[in-house]
Amino acid sequence: MNRARTALFGAALLLGSAARLPALGNWTPVVTLDSRIPLEIAPSRQIPPGDTYYQPVLFDLATNSLEIVRVDLTVDPPTASPIVVTVANVFALGAAVQIADRIGFSFVDNLFDLRFGGCDEPCASTFNNLVNAGTWLDSFSAASGDDLYVGAVDNAANNGATIWRSTDNGATWTVLNTLVPPDSGGIYENFDGGKRLNLTVDPTATNPATTRNCLLYETLPSPFTATNIHLNCRDGATNDFDVVVGNDIPNAGGTFDRYIGDVCAIADDGSGGFNNVCLYSDRQTGQVRIVHVDDSGGVTGPVDLAPVPAGTEFFELALTKLSPGYPGVRILFPSGPGTPANDVEWSAEAGDFSRQGPPVDVGPVAENFWYYDSGDVLNGLLIIFAKWSLLVEAPDGGGGLVMSMYRLPIFEDGFETNNALRWDFQAP
């Protein structure tokens, strides 16, 4: 029998006719939200936001500005009003996550201290809390139940990684896990060309002592002729497995570039277990690759999806899990300046189904998707936030931070589109 997706983006339910939703199966025209060029756009793991969406963005200015862009989804086209978190040359934005009315994300400041910033809805003001003072080089954030998590790579101690947990909305933080890299060269940090650190936690878990948390990281084994890409998963502080999910070659230039991007999601396996799905740019093959790791650490892949965009500019990959019971993910990444992005649905069982995404420039990209099981007729909505260079003519004549939306079908079997939209996923 075919499996139906129970997916709903909160705004689609709450707004009704207040805003014109995109037609089923079509990306809306790219809309410019802000004319400033983003250096980094935080991934999003927020809950259905109602009529306003909050997107952390680092803007490229003489002194960079880290802001939360508040997007009004009740008007067509959407409009944005930014609010500043900090003005400094910060970097390494983690995912935007939400606990009740608090939206927050990790980042590293200009003193290399690890911080957690954000706002409380409706975000009339922002906060900027210290997680740990030190020499941090990369970060990622996540949430589960009523707890917040932050992972970071240290410039000391062989570039090890640490995970902190907060039970008071990010005011104070305690160490949950410390990762000592298994290879002698340590974690291959992104400033030298290694992959970004990526932290995922089970968003449905309520007991911090047993919450599944996973780190994707890259190491440089001696004698540095190849790298290992690892996925380390623990239940609370108890180690579950650390497996090599891929290999690459070191960056000969020794600097961050278009090959440092990666992202992971913990997806439902359909029976209450975990699927760890990770996406990364591979220097050796020049491909964007995806790999699947099951609940026991069994690895499927990596599988090549498409070439990495040409050029030298850093860009980000967007990956989100789909609805409960559906073991697939949705992927977006650029294919070149001003050309349609790659828009892919993928599962280890069914392979991939690809379509053209909205036209976006090479650069930071953030895809955002929510499901909400309301018991009503269900729909879904994808939103992509992306960079559009002012050097490339944008469709609406502008440039900077842009967005596009895509309305999802109710059923995975293509019921609404006569099976023309995508492949079927067969379930027993």
Q: Taking residues 156-182, what's their average pLDDT?
A: 92
Q: Which of 41, 46, 44 is nearest to 10 (CA)?
A: 46
Residues 99 and 162: their CA atoms lie apart, in Å, by: 22
How many Cβ atoms are within 10 Å of 129's Cβ, its own excluded? 15
**Contact between 243 and 293 (Cβ < 8 Å):** yes
Going by the DSSP 8-state scheme, the letter that residue 380 receives in this structure is E
Residues 159 and 175: their CA atoms lie apart, in Å, by: 17
Q: What is the pLDDT of residues 364-416, one digit of tens each?
A: 887 766 544 443 333 456 788 888 776 665 556 567 898 888 876 554 444 34
CA quadruple 392, 396, 398, 404: dihedral positive or negative? negative
Residues 290 and 3: their CA atoms lie apart, in Å, by: 23
Q: What is the pLDDT of residues 271-305, one digit of tens each?
A: 666 788 999 999 999 999 999 999 899 999 999 99
Residues 378 and 368: their CA atoms lie apart, in Å, by: 17
How many Cβ atoms are within 10 Å of 149's Cβ, its own excluded? 26
pLDDT score of 25 more than 70:
no
Confidence of residue 16 (pLDDT cuts 50, 70, 90): very low
What local confidence, expressed as pLDDT, does residue 374 receive? Answer: 40
With tokens 């449905």, the residue in question is 204
Residues 153 and 159: their CA atoms lie apart, in Å, by: 6
pLDDT, averaged across the chain: 82
pLDDT score of 175 more than 50:
yes
The model's pTM is 0.87
Judge residue 348's burial from the number of C-beta atoms within 10 Å of its C-beta, 0-12 exposed, 13-18 middle, 19 or more buried: buried
What local confidence, expressed as pLDDT, does residue 271 receive? Answer: 64
Domains of the chain in start order, with CATH, are 10-417 (2.120.10.10)
Q: What is the pLDDT of residues 322-379, one digit of tens each?
A: 666 666 788 888 888 778 888 898 888 778 888 888 888 877 887 766 544 443 333 4
Q: What is the pLDDT of residues 116-156, one digit of tens each?
A: 999 999 999 999 999 999 899 999 999 998 899 999 999 98
Q: Taking residues 7-13, what's their average pLDDT?
A: 24
Residues 200 and 321: their CA atoms lie apart, in Å, by: 12
What local confidence, expressed as pLDDT, does residue 417 receive? Answer: 41
Report the share of the chain in percent with pLDDT over 70.
80
What local confidence, expressed as pLDDT, does residue 405 receive? Answer: 83
What local confidence, expressed as pLDDT, does residue 166 receive? Answer: 96
Element (H, E) at 13: helix 10-15
Residues 266 and 205: their CA atoms lie apart, in Å, by: 12
What local confidence, expressed as pLDDT, does residue 391 receive? Answer: 61
Q: What is the pLDDT of residues 88-106, one digit of tens each?
A: 999 999 999 999 899 999 9
With tokens 């093959």, the residue in question is 285
